Amino acid sequence: MCGICGQFNFVRQEPVDAETIRRMTGTMVHRGPDDEGYFVSGSVGLGFRRLSIIDLAGGHQPMSDAEETVWVILNGEIYNFKELRAELEQRGHSFRTRSDTEVIVHGYKEWGMEVFDHLNGMFGVAIWDVEKQRLVVARDAMGIKLIYYRVADGQVTFGSEIRPILAAEDSKPVVDPVALNLFLRFRYTPSPLTIFEGIRKLAAGTMLVFEQGKYREERWYNYTRIPFLSHTDEEEAAQELLELYRAAVRRHLLSDVPVGILLSGGLDSGLLLGLMNEEGGPWPAYTIGYGESFEDDELTDAAETARILGARHITVRLDRSEFERSLPAIVACLEEPIAASSIVPMYFVSQRARQDVKVALIGQGPDELFGGYKRHLGVHYGEWWRRLPTSLRSVLGLAVSGLPRNETLKRGVSSLGTEDRLKRYQDVFSLAPAGTIDGLFQDDLFPNGQSHGLVDYWRGLVPQMVHTDELGGFQLLEIRSSLPDELLMYADKLSMAHSLEVRVPYLDRTVVEHIQRLGSQFKIRNGSRKWLHRRVCQSYLPPRILKRKKRGFAVNVVDEWFRSSLKGELPELLLDENSLIFSLLKPNPVRKLLTAHQSGRQDNHKLLFSLVMFEQWLRGIRSDQKQSGVPQLGHTFESLSALPDNGFHSRFN
């Protein structure tokens, strides 16, 4: 896990400024405190910060072949690099290191841009082809790693984070109102947009190609689900899935530095710990909790799981005051606002884990792959609702809309009646109706009337949905959008703020592609979610763990804190006449949301939390600009300023 950045003047071929590349790279010391490297040659410049995980002595980047015709910078890990290395050696390639990065160097020479189809891993990567004068920048299939970029005036600037792009620019960042609208609807900003106007992020499984004075963005990962012809034997299906899990965990444990696990009290991380035990142990397991005063706290559950599976359990306790005090710093760390309450526990559990280990495995993935959320039940059984007579649906819908609070149920009933498939999926994802969100914005902010167009960005995925059922189509969009651009994005940012590499074994390509081929009967059965996954869990976890309710990293506790905080300090951000959000939003509609929530008529805490996060984000941006004169996101952040600087070891050509 590292940080990469670069710049290429692909139209006029003007020389890149070496000091700019150095400045860009310097914004990511937290991502790579162990080493740094540079390649600057004519119109292209590459920068790299390293967190040493594999081949500690020989993995310096940028890395090239012996002839220096191909240069690569990689953020991430390639889990099948040993197999690929053996294949490439048989084809006549000679390797100089034990690093997984070198597999991409020689893989590109052998397969060209099809090299990405051979990689099983998480990566943000840039490849400079000296002979073709071609730059290729790509994001991995599942979107575990990030690539941000700006294209302007014949120049591309890119990085693992937004910071290096802003460091290269003289202009101040501007909020994109369309992206803000989508953020308020979904709690995150979906690819290819970012909250910054003019700065974009690659979608999962896509790449940028710059050559001959032009550039294109295209999808390199085009896996299309082909359902299994016959898969009725449940025991066989469970065993196949188990073997895929085992192989994935074995690959993800490959490391030359200590490894641990971020452990919740639930099924997914419990099974992951059980699978890890087959490869070694005992493993350090890290859990965050909120003390005995909260009934929904999961420290006790996680401690029991750790005891049963023989892990060394390390706990972190977080209280409400720390939650509220740390929020601005965490927002700065994210670079873009994310309104998921689990960002707070993720930050602190990563901080504690990094004191002992450099790598931690997490149990992210089965909820999206097997239908673990309540929304999946609605999507799965939504066809039944649409079969009802329109008159009956209208009566029932009217009755539901009259219920106090229950906003999730109201949105679900409304969205599942939508006939257009992509529009229906978008409405299921939404925190509030489009009209409610649009009504928050200042008049004339969207002169062309296009305030939200997520469906348009999803159109390119339609060919991959050809053979999917209703649930499978929705899950495809989760895997390509909300999972990489929300959950995996903040996992990357918050772990790397502490120089901790987080790995996601359940999102191994072999696992994901296999599960996508399964029918919905293996995911939801008789109202039970994650059905086949639970069958596998039965081999590792006792019944009392299998019956635990879903909690995550105690996110329900954080949500409850925010509900109660709406009577205290946090709502002041929404009532203050001088709040920065009101340069884009209208005060009265925002206050009506708050009043309706506090009165008990509506449950708006998710949307209100999104507004608070956006205000915190704006204040952080303004503070950084005042202190430095240029937009330097997060540079006042305590954990970032405390990270070590290991000196300057560069190579300029």
Tokens 């940012």 appear where?
A: 493
Measured CA to CA, the distance from residue 299 to residue 286 in angstroms comes to 10
Instruction: Write phi, then psi, for 52 (nearest 5 degrees).
Output: -75, 120
Highest mean pLDDT among 79-88, 169-178, 299-308, 455-464: 79-88
**Whether the predicted pLDDT of 297 surpasses 80:** no
Give the CA distances from residue 198 to residues 106, 162, 174, 176, 293, in Å, rounded to whole numbers and listed in that order. Answer: 34, 11, 8, 8, 46
Measured CA to CA, the distance from residue 627 to residue 632 in angstroms comes to 9
Q: Residue 261 has which token pair?
A: 């696990």
What confidence tens digit (pLDDT) does each residue in 494-546 have?
999 999 999 999 999 999 999 999 999 999 998 889 999 999 999 999 998 88
Instruction: Write phi, then psi, for 145 (nearest 5 degrees).
Output: -105, 160
Cis bond leading into 173, ω under 30°?
A: no
Among candidates 112, 164, 117, which has minimal Cα distance to 140?
117
**Whether the predicted pLDDT of 561 surpasses 80:** no
List the single range of 50-54, 151-155, 254-258, 314-318 with lowest mean pLDDT.
50-54
For residue 219, which amino acid is it? Answer: R
The CATH homologous superfamily for domain 2-221 is Aminohydrolase, N-terminal nucleophile (Ntn) domain (3.60.20.10)
Measured CA to CA, the distance from residue 225 to residue 472 in angstroms comes to 9
More confident residue, 319 or 569: 319
The pLDDT of residue 177 is 92
**Phi-psi region at 98: left, alpha or beta (left = phi > 0; alpha = psi -120 to 50):** alpha
State the DSSP H helix or E strand holding residue 641, giving kind and residue range, or none if neither: helix 638-641
The pLDDT of residue 527 is 86
What confidence tens digit (pLDDT) does each residue in 453-492 have?
667 778 888 888 888 888 999 999 999 999 999 999 999 9
State the DSSP H helix or E strand holding residue 205, giving kind and residue range, or none if neither: none
Q: Residue 592 has which token pair?
A: 């009506």
The pLDDT of residue 405 is 58
Measured CA to CA, the distance from residue 248 to residue 263 in angstroms comes to 18
Give the CA distances from residue 20 to residues 8, 166, 420, in Å, rounded to whole numbers and listed in that order. Answer: 12, 11, 48
Residues forming beta bridges with residue 150, ordered by sequence position: 157
**Whether the predicted pLDDT of 367 surpasses 70:** yes
Q: Residue 273 has which token pair?
A: 């710990």
Among candidates 75, 570, 512, 500, which has minimal Cα distance to 257?
500
Measured CA to CA, the distance from residue 126 to residue 8 in angstroms comes to 11
The pLDDT of residue 549 is 76
State the DSSP H helix or E strand holding residue 46, giving kind and residue range, or none if neither: strand 44-50
More confident residue, 407 or 208: 208
Measured CA to CA, the distance from residue 9 to residue 14 in angstroms comes to 6
**Whether the predicted pLDDT of 651 surpasses 50:** no
Res. 569 pLDDT band, cuts 50 70 90: low
Tokens 């590349």 appear where?
A: 21
Res. 413 pLDDT band, cuts 50 70 90: low
The pLDDT of residue 326 is 85
What CATH number should be reported for the domain whose range is 234-371+476-558?
A: 3.40.50.620
What confidence tens digit (pLDDT) does each residue in 609-644 have?
899 899 989 988 877 666 654 333 333 333 333 323
Share of the chain above pLDDT 90, in %: 59
Is the separation of the CB atoms in 629 and 621 below 8 Å? no
Measured CA to CA, the distance from residue 453 to residue 432 in angstroms comes to 15
Is the separation of the CB atoms in 44 and 70 below 8 Å? no
More confident residue, 258 or 385: 258
Q: Residue 296 has which token pair?
A: 């929904």
Measured CA to CA, the distance from residue 606 to residue 432 in angstroms comes to 9
The pLDDT of residue 452 is 59
The 10 Å Cβ neighbour count of residue 486 is 20
Share of the chain above pLDDT 70, in %: 84
The pLDDT of residue 644 is 31
Measured CA to CA, the distance from residue 62 to residue 50 in angstroms comes to 10
Give the CA distances from residue 516 to residues 236, 395, 406, 503, 509, in Å, rounded to whole numbers and listed in that order. Answer: 17, 36, 32, 21, 11
Residues forming beta bridges with residue 155, ordered by sequence position: 9, 152
The 10 Å Cβ neighbour count of residue 519 is 13
Res. 170 pLDDT band, cuts 50 70 90: confident
The pLDDT of residue 634 is 35
Averaged pLDDT score across all residues of the chain: 86
Cis bond leading into 433, ω under 30°?
A: no
Measured CA to CA, the distance from residue 380 to residue 581 in angstroms comes to 38
Q: Residue 139 has which token pair?
A: 């994001």
State the DSSP H helix or E strand holding residue 507, giving kind and residue range, or none if neither: none
List all residues 6 or more positions away from 392 whose beta carbon is below 8 Å from its beta carbon: none
**Which is it for the CA torsion 204, 634, 27, 121, positive or negative?**
negative
**Whether the predicted pLDDT of 256 surpasses 60:** yes
Give all strands of the β-sheet with 214-219 in edge-to-edge order: 63-64, 70-78, 121-129, 134-139, 206-211, 214-219
Using only the alpha carbons of the chain, give its radius of gyration: 24
As a residue count, the chain comes to 653
Measured CA to CA, the distance from residue 586 to residue 602 in angstroms comes to 20
The pLDDT of residue 315 is 93
For residue 254, which amino acid is it? Answer: L
What is the mean pLDDT of the segment spanning 215-230?
A: 88
- State the DSSP string of 53-106: -SSTTT--SSEE-TTS-EEEEEEEEETTHHHHHHHHHHTT---SSS-SHHHHHH
The pLDDT of residue 56 is 78
SS3 readout for 207-244: EEEEECCEEEEEECCCCCCCCCCCCCCHHHHHHHHHHH
More confident residue, 549 or 61: 61
Cα dihedral: 485, 487, 492, 493 (round 10): 80
The pLDDT of residue 560 is 64
Res. 414 pLDDT band, cuts 50 70 90: low
Q: Residue 363 has which token pair?
A: 């149990």
Provide the whole-model pTM.
Answer: 0.91
What is the mean pLDDT of the segment spanning 98-122?
A: 97
What is the mean pLDDT of the segment spanning 570-587?
A: 86
Is 234-371+476-558 the same fold as 2-221? no
Measured CA to CA, the distance from residue 107 to residue 127 in angstroms comes to 11
More confident residue, 100 or 642: 100
For residue 409, which amino acid is it? Answer: L
List the single range of 153-167, 247-261, 575-589, 596-610 with lowest mean pLDDT.
596-610
**Whether the predicted pLDDT of 152 surpasses 50:** yes
So where are the chain's domains? 2-221, 234-371+476-558, 374-452, 566-628
Give all strands of the β-sheet with 284-289 in edge-to-edge order: 312-317, 284-289, 259-262, 359-361, 501-503
Among candidates 137, 185, 187, which has minimal Cα distance to 165?
137
The 10 Å Cβ neighbour count of residue 505 is 24
Highest mean pLDDT among 117-126, 177-186, 542-551, 611-620: 117-126
The pLDDT of residue 431 is 86
For residue 300, which amino acid is it? Answer: T
Q: Crossing angle, helix 488-496 and helix 320-334, to 10 degrees?
A: 100
What is the mean pLDDT of the segment spanning 440-459?
A: 74
The pLDDT of residue 328 is 85
Question: What counts of helices (H) and strands (E) characterise the chain?
Answer: 28, 19
3-state secondary structure (DSSP) of residue 124: strand
Residues forming beta bridges with residue 529, ordered by sequence position: 524
